[in-house]
Amino acid sequence: MENRKFGYIRVSAKDQNEARQLQAMKEVGISDRDIYIDKQSGRDFNREQYQLMKHHLRAGDVLYIHSLDRFGRNKEEILNEWTDITKNIKADIIVLDMPLLDTTKYQDSLGTFISDLVLQILSWLAEEERERIKKRQREGIDVALRNGTRFGRPKVEITDAFIAVYTEWKVERITATEAMRRADMKRTTFYKLVKEYESQHANQ
């Protein structure tokens, strides 16, 4: 059975386009049916298309990826997956933008050592970049919070209007459904405020 070429592409769900990676795969002669694309984070390898591609990989096949950060972002998981594919499945991997990471060329011990070293460095850099992005996001949220930006659902306050419908509901003048309608609240919100209001008054 003839060895096959597979292409794996990953872009983040939000803002990246796969066209550049797709073009690179076609230039090395990979057919459309053997190109697998995930549109999600690279923090782990629980990705549908990646797992499907890996299921089809056989010994002697070649997996092409555009760059290491498209493969993954977590150093330990990158190394584990690389080892699983090259040592256990016995397929080869070629990283298109990093010629040293081509397991079809470097079969001798020195070549393997160089490839492993480069892989260690690049996977470490990929993880460092991921941590930097997370840190920047965290700093951005902290700045926004300091500037008064609120995240999550707005807090629903106990208002005079709520107290009025609560009182009528409590003495059974209106049903809970009618109280929620008048207060313009969902069931969970209404009962949450009931609990909060009653606990406040229980402590008085």
pLDDT at 151: 60
* Cα dihedral sign, 37-8-18-140: positive
pLDDT at 78: 84
pLDDT at 114: 65
β-sheet with 62-65: strand ranges across: 35-39, 5-11, 62-65, 92-95
Domain ranges of the chain: 5-134, 160-202
pLDDT at 91: 92
Distances (CA, A) of 162 to 17, 66, 141, 191, 192: 49, 58, 33, 11, 12
pLDDT at 32: 92
pLDDT at 64: 97
118 and 101 Cβ atoms separated by less than 8 Å = yes
In which residue are the tokens 């066209």 written? 19
Mean pLDDT by 10 residues, the chain (204 residues): 89 77 93 92 87 94 91 82 90 88 72 69 73 77 73 70 87 88 86 85 63
Choose, from 12, 31, 109, 115, the residue flagged as catalytic: 12
12 flagged as catalytic: yes
CATH second-level architecture of 5-134? 3-Layer(aba) Sandwich (3.40)
Contacts by 153-159 with C-beta closer than 8 Å and gap 24+? 156/185, 156/189, 156/192, 156/193, 158/193, 158/196, 158/197, 158/200
89 and 119 Cβ atoms separated by less than 8 Å = no
* Cα dihedral sign, 120-123-129-130: negative
pLDDT at 190: 87
d(CA 165, CA 179): 5
- Kindly report whether the global pTM for this prediction surpasses the value 0.95: no
pLDDT at 8: 96
> Is residue 181 within a helix (H) or strand (E), and if so which, with residue range?
helix 176-183
